Amino acid sequence: MKQVSQAVLRRCFFRWFFGSAAVFTPQRMQTLGLVYAMEPAVRDLYPEEEEYRKRLNSYRTLFNTEVQIGSAVIGMAIGLEEDSANGSGMDDDLMRTIRSGLMGSLAGLGDALLVGALIPLLLCIALDLGLAGAVSYLLVYGILGTWLQYRLFLRVYHLRDEGLAFLYSSRTKTAVRILQRCALLCIGIAMGHYGLPEHTLPGLSAGILLVLCGSLILRRTSVSVRGLLGIYTVLACILTFVF
Amino acid sequence: MNLLQIIIIGMIGGVSGMIAPPVGTSWGNYVLGRPLIAALVIGMIVGDVPGMIMIGIPVQLTWILMVTPGGVMRTDLRSASYAGLPVGYAAVKCSGYAYAVPAVLVSAVICGFLGTMLSRLELRINRRFERQAVQALDSGRTERLPYIIQAGPLLSHILISGTILAAAIVCLSRLYGLFLGLASSCAVLSEAIRYTGLLVPLWGCAQTIRSTAEGYRWYLLPAAGMVLGYFGFPVPAAVAVSCVLTAVMCLRIKEENTEEEI
């Protein structure tokens, strides 16, 4: 029975961790990152040159996901490749479909959970703690985050779809929605601490008004982010002359 | 700041971009590329950690939540961090401009917008590596992949992006220093920069709400947060309450599911 060794698994993970987006282009996005990460596992499973090249080339279809939570896709791809090498009858098309399905859904989840909730929450705490916060963020997100990615990768590799089930559960969906709302609230609190034009009640009112009007302008009109900055700059000039 | 310090800042900035960070996206973009961490790193290099953290906090607040689906970005956060912060810091120091934080925020925004050109250049360089990687795969020389996919981008980011960032810091800090020097002697210009800088975090917060809020009711959250923050409500307490709330809601779902199963 063919099985990928622990050392190869580690190599695959670290290749994905460091090289997933290293040659990112709008045309191929993370496709070559995926090929690069899968290469040691495919080499381990298929010693024959022809089969190895054929299998490796099957990973050259377009791939793009949220890199951090995307380590689960690599774990799943290695697991499926192992099953295929052991004669499970899993064909290329099915594996590609599974990868495509996962990359889309995990990209959405990763953007919402990590980029849209956890990172802002951690940064809000870090802002409040100043220097200690910066060091804590470095340690917590940098080291703990890397370890969690590795655990997720291993979990999905060993358990296949069962290892992923918790990411698609209604509990996770609820947690993401609540955390996103909490992140917005905490960003507001941090704005109240450090982002108000002046720490007075008129400053607070003006801050709230400008933030809400700005986001409404971005949402309801075709004004771009740069356009909004232009509007704020004009407003700043008017304020200069008024006060 | 001396030239060596600027070169080191440029090199670290070079590897912490969103486009193809050769030290990994987690460490490159989400850790080193964040303005608060950049402030810590730059502070250690220039020997003024508290000063850099002080100006790094509002810059971080401006770009606290930046979702870039498919690599689409409007401002290059790495340039805002690794060019904007040192440019603002050096310019304020040499000009003696009174309002340091608003001046740094303005320089971060300018560098962030200019930095999108650097990101585009990195994408063009990546195409070269991409072609080489495809050729290596086609010819079956996969042993070359680590050099093409990891060593190549690492060197290109350190040398090309790092040099561009360092050059930008040198040129822009002088230009911006002259501008702030002029502003120091002209009250109207000085106030205009100050007001613009003060409005920058609000602009960042408006973008944040736009990119995350699913409905108009969500708009009340940051507004309520601003009121709480104004009255001194601590962020860690809010995060703790959030975590408890999340846990309770998740446990409730588990109970509901169990009831359904029964």
Q: What is the pLDDT of residues B61-77, one digit of tens each?
A: 999 887 665 556 778 89
Q: How many residues does chain B have?
A: 262
Q: Which amino acid makes up residue B72?
A: V
What pLDDT shows up at residue B44? 95
Q: Which of A11, A25, A168, A196 to mutate to test the interface with B (most CBs of B within 10 A)?
A: A25
- Which residues, other chains included, contact B93 with Cβ-Cβ below 8 Å and sequence gap of 6+? none
pLDDT at B261 (0 to 100) = 47
pLDDT in tens, B73-93: 778 899 999 999 999 999 999
Q: Which among A141, A152, A147, A139 is positioned nearest to A70, based on CA atoms? A: A152
Q: Where are the alpha helices (DSSP H) in A111-191?
A: 119-129, 131-137, 145-159, 161-164, 170-190
**Residue B233 pLDDT greater than 70, yes or no:** yes
Residue with tokens 């906090």: B57
What would the pLDDT profile of A175-231 be if each residue is shown by its tens digit?
Answer: 888 888 889 999 999 999 988 888 889 999 999 999 999 999 998 898 988 899 999
**Contact state of A188 with B202 under an 8 Å Cβ cutoff:** no
What confidence tens digit (pLDDT) does each residue in B204-227 have? Answer: 999 888 888 878 888 888 999 999
A13: Cβ contacts below 8 Å, ≥ 6 apart: A37, A71, A74, A149, A150, A153
User: By the 8 A CB rule, do B57 and B80 touch?
Assistant: no
Higher pLDDT: A91 or B114? It is B114
Provide the mean pLDDT of chain B: 88
Confidence of residue B102 (pLDDT cuts 50, 70, 90): very high
**pLDDT above 70 as % of chain A:** 100
Say which residue, B100 or B72, is predicted with more confidence: B100
Residue A5's pLDDT band, with cuts at 50, 70 and 90, is: very high
Q: What is residue B98's DSSP assignment?
A: S
Burial class (CB in 10 A: 0-12, 13-18, 19+), B258: exposed
Residue B20 sits at the vertex; the CA angle it makes with B17 and B24, to the nearest 5 degrees, is 85
* pLDDT above 70: percentage of residues in chain B: 92
B219: closest CA among A210, A21, A233? A210
- What's the pLDDT at B74? 79
> Is residue B42 assigned to a domain?
yes
**B224 token code pair:** 């309520």
Query: Cβ distance A184 to A118 under 8 Å?
Result: no
Measured in angstroms, the CA of A195 and the nearest CA of chain B are apart by 6
Digit-coded pLDDT (tens) for A143-186:
888 998 999 999 999 998 888 888 888 888 888 888 888 899 99
Chain B contacts of A39, Cβ < 8 Å?
142, 145
Give pLDDT, residue B68.
64
CA nearest neighbour of B238 among B249, B253, B252, B227: B227
For the record, the structure tokens of B207 come out as: 């973008």
pLDDT computed for residue A160 by the predictor: 84
Contacts of B221 (CB under 8 A, 6+ apart): A181, A184, A185, A188, B213
Judge contact between A145 and A71, C-beta under 8 A: no
Confidence of residue B262 (pLDDT cuts 50, 70, 90): very low
* Number of domains, chain B: 1
Domain-located, residue B260:
no
DSSP single-letter state for residue A58 = T
Mean pLDDT of chain A: 90
Nearest by CB: B223 against A188, A226, A235: A188
Q: What is the DSSP string of A86-123?
A: TT----HHHHHHHHHHHHHHHHHHHIIIIIIIIHHHHH
- Residue B204 belongs to a domain: yes
Q: Is residue B146 part of a domain?
A: yes
Which of A148, A71, A144, A235 is CA-nearest to residue B196?
A235
With cut-offs at 50, 70 and 90, classify the pLDDT of residue B258.
low
pLDDT at A12: 94
Whether residues B221 and A188 touch (CB distance < 8 A) is answered with yes
Cβ-Cβ contacts under 8 Å, A228 against chain B: 203, 206-207
What's residue B200's pLDDT? 93
Residue B63 lies in a domain: yes
pLDDT over 70 (residue A243): yes
Task: Name every residue whose Cβ is closer than 8 Å to that of residue B87 and which is 6 or more positions away in sequence.
Answer: B107, B111, B168, B169, B172, B173, B176
Q: Which chain A residues contact residue B22 at CB under 8 A?
A: 18-19, 22
The ipTM, to two decimals, is: 0.90
Question: Shortest CA distance to A130 belongs to which of B185, B227, B49?
Answer: B49
Q: Are B104 and B90 in contact (CB under 8 A)?
A: no
Among A152, A189, A201, A224, the residue to mutate for chain B (most B Cβ within 10 A): A189
Range of the domain at B35: 3-215
Residues in B touching A241 (Cβ below 8 Å): 188
Q: Taking a C-beta distance cutoff of 8 angstroms, is the pair A76, A157 a contact?
A: yes
**Structure-token pair, residue A141:** 């997100």
B227 touches chain A (CB under 8 A): yes
Using alpha carbons only, give the angle A15, A16, A21 rounded to the nearest 5 degrees.
110
Report yes or no on B252 lying in a domain: no
Q: What is the DSSP letter of A61?
A: S
Statement: residue A100 has pLDDT above 80: yes
- The answer as to whether B257 is a domain residue is no
Query: Which residues on chain B are in Cβ contact (under 8 Å) with A146?
Result: 26-27
Is residue B239, in this structure, part of any structural domain at all?
Answer: no
Q: Which residues contact B101 (CB under 8 A, 6 or more apart)?
A: B54, B55, B58, B197
Beta bridge partners of A63: A29
